[in-house]
């Protein structure tokens, strides 16, 4: 059984944790922009954390649900509703066959993640279900969803099926049933104020002029409208090198901040190219990549320097929290 797309939204695509192992052949990683939210969505419905989910950007879709499902929506708040009623995010929700899940106004963040117990039936290309939009590869026919697409669903495994049955049996007249427990949405940036993004110095940091180095730490930058899944272009003080630099292209990674000759930095994200030849002023700490991914064009950010050691510590703390959550959710599902 399946989900039918009545309205696709701005950019709704199938993503998992990415296509690793092929960058040496020029195949980019892709995957969820906010992989933390993707993992949370999967854990909430009892899936494996790396299963493919729908990544929904700024303007969400309308989806006809053609079977009883258990779903979870995490990430930015794009006002999900069923039958005109808002449905809660960050918790498992049971929806009855035949209802329409619609997204509305954006309230916070930039991207929502919709996981369904059992997962979407998407065949993997090079060991990943992620959609590589520019190459038309992977995901649902290698592209973003369109009107009348039908997404096939897999049956939930026994452990999440039991929560589904439990919620289904308490199903009343209301359009959805949810649990009495939920997750906090700690990493979604607050609106209005500049968002603090923690970075380490990049390999070419010292090659920038003194003024540019100061400006990088002290001035806010704005996410420009030319930002996409490949990278976020920032505008602000133009960053200049102390003297011209000839570079051979070298590997770039998730969260690399590179500066092209116009002086406006670019934060490389999920659909980043595999190598780059622009000087790299900084590298965003992995825990804050999920925060960047929830910024929308127009948002302001400030960079804050941390050490590699601190970035690793933050990463370990977060992974420990995810493990704790995984155990807590497993206990709830028993």
Partner 1 sequence: MLTIDDIREIIKLVDQSSIQQFQLEQGATKISIGKNAVVTPAQPILDEVHGAKTNKEAAVTATVPGRLAEELVVADKQEELYKITAPMVGTFYAAPEPGAAAFVKIGEKITLNTVVCVLEVMKLFNEVEAQVNGEIVEILVKDGEFVEYGQPLFLVKIR
Closest distance to partner 1 from the beta carbon of 328 (Å): 4
Among residues 6, 62, 183, 306, the one that binds partner 1 under rule CB under 8 A: 183
Q: Is the separation of the CB atoms in 200 and 305 below 8 Å?
A: yes
Beta carbon of residue 159, minimum distance to partner 1 (angstroms, whole number): 15
Q: Does 249 bind partner 1 (CB under 8 A)?
A: no
Q: What does the block give as tokens for 205?
A: 């940091």
Q: Using the rule CB under 8 A, which residue among 172, 180, 248, 309 binds partner 1? A: 180
> Which x/- pattern, by CB under 8 A, does the window 115-134 give for partner 1?
--------------------
Residue 202 tokens read as 């990049």
Q: How far is the CB of 272 from partner 1 (least distance, A)?
A: 30
Q: Is 37 helix (H, G, I), strand (E, B) or coil?
A: helix
Q: In 3D, which of 82, 55, 51, 65 has the Cα closest to residue 1? A: 65
Q: Which is nearer to partner 1, 88 or 263 (CB)?
A: 88
Kindly state whether residue 62 participates in binding partner 1, applying the rule CB under 8 A. Answer: no
Work out whether 314 is an interface residue with partner 1 (CB under 8 A). no
Q: Which stretch binds partner 1 (CB under 8 A): 19-27, 48-56, 169-177, 179-187?
A: 179-187
Alpha-carbon gap, residue 263 to 136, rounded angstroms: 31
Residue 192 within binding range of partner 1, rule CB under 8 A: no
Using CB under 8 A as the binding rule, whether residue 315 contacts partner 1 is answered as no
State the DSSP H helix or E strand holding residue 235, giving kind and residue range, or none if neither: strand 231-235
CA distance 262 to 25: 29
| Binding window for partner 1 (CB under 8 A); candidates: 154-162, 178-186, 206-214, 257-265 | 178-186
* Residue 244 near residue 4 (C-beta atoms within 8 A): no
Region from 128-136, 194-202, 243-251, 316-324 binding partner 1, contact rule CB under 8 A: 316-324
Q: Which residue stretch of 64-72, 128-136, 295-303, 325-333 sits at the interface with partner 1 (rule: CB under 8 A)?
A: 325-333
Spatial contact of 5 and 152, defined as CB atoms under 8 Å apart: no
From CA 197, how far away is CA 201, in angstroms rounded?
13
User: Is residue 328 at the binding interface for partner 1, with CB under 8 A as the rule?
Assistant: yes
* 333 touches partner 1 by CB under 8 A: no
Q: Which of 141, 237, 332, 333 binds partner 1 (CB under 8 A)?
A: 332
Is residue 87 involved in binding partner 1 (CB under 8 A)?
no
Name the nearest CA neighbour of 9 among 56, 53, 52, 75.
56
Which residue is listed with tokens 């030319």?
A: 226
Nearest CA to 110 out of 59, 72, 76, 73 is that of 76
Site track 262-301 with partner 1 (rule: CB under 8 A), x = hit? ----------------------------------------
Query: Which residues have a Cβ under 8 Å from the Cβ of 18 and sit 6 or more positions away?
Result: 29, 30, 31, 32, 35, 128, 130, 270
**Are the C-beta atoms of 151 and 71 separated by less than 8 Å?**
no
Task: Check residue 324 for interaction with partner 1 (CB under 8 A).
Answer: yes
Backbone phi and psi for residue 187, each to the nearest 5 degrees, phi listed first: -95, -5
230 binds partner 1 (CB under 8 A): no
Which is nearer to partner 1, 169 or 190 (by Cβ)? 190
Told to check if 182 binds partner 1 by CB under 8 A, we report: yes
Cα gap 3→150, rounded to integer Å:
6
Residue among 181, 225, 310, 319 that touches partner 1 (CB under 8 A)? 181
Where along the sequence are the contacts to partner 1 (CB under 8 A)?
180-185, 190, 320-321, 324-325, 327-329, 331-332
């Amino acid at each position: 059984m399946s989900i039918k797309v009545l309205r696709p939204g701005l950019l709704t695509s199938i993503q998992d944790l990415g296509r690793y192992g092929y960058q040496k052949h020029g195949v980019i990683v892709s995957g969820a922009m906010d992989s933390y939210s993707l993992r949370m969505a999967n854990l909430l419905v009892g899936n494996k954390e790396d299963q493919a989910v729908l990544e929904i950007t700024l303007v969400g879709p309308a989806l006809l649900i053609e079977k009883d499902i258990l779903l979870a929506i995490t990430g930015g708040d794009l006002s999900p509703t069923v039958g005109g009623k808002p449905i809660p995010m960050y918790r498992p929700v049971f929806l009855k066959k035949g209802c329409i899940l619609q997204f509305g106004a954006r309230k916070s963040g930039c991207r929502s993640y919709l996981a369904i117990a059992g997962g979407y039936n998407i065949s993997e290309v090079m060991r990943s279900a992620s959609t590589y939009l520019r190459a038309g590869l992977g995901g649902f026919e290698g592209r973003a969803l369109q009107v009348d697409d039908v997404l096939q669903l897999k049956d939930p495994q026994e452990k999440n099926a039991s929560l589904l049955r439990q919620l289904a049996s308490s199903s009343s007249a209301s359009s959805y049933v949810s649990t009495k427990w939920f997750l906090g949405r700690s990493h979604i940036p607050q609106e209005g104020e500049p968002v603090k993004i923690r970075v380490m110095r990049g390999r070419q940091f010292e090659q920038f002029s003194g003024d540019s180095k100061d400006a990088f730490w002290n001035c806010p930058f704005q996410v420009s409208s030319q930002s996409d899944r490949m990278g976020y272009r920032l505008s602000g003080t133009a960053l200049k090198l102390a003297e011209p630099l000839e570079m051979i292209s070298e590997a770039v990674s998730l969260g690399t901040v590179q500066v092209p000759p116009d002086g406006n930095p670019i934060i490389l994200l999920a659909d980043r190219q595999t190598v780059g030849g622009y000087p790299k002023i900084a590298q965003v700490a992995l825990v804050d990549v999920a925060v960047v991914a929830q910024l929308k064009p127009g948002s302001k950010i400030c960079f804050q320097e941390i050490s590699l050691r601190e970035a690793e510590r933050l990463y370990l703390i977060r992974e420990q929290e995810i493990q704790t959550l995984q155990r807590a959710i497993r206990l709830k599902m028993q």
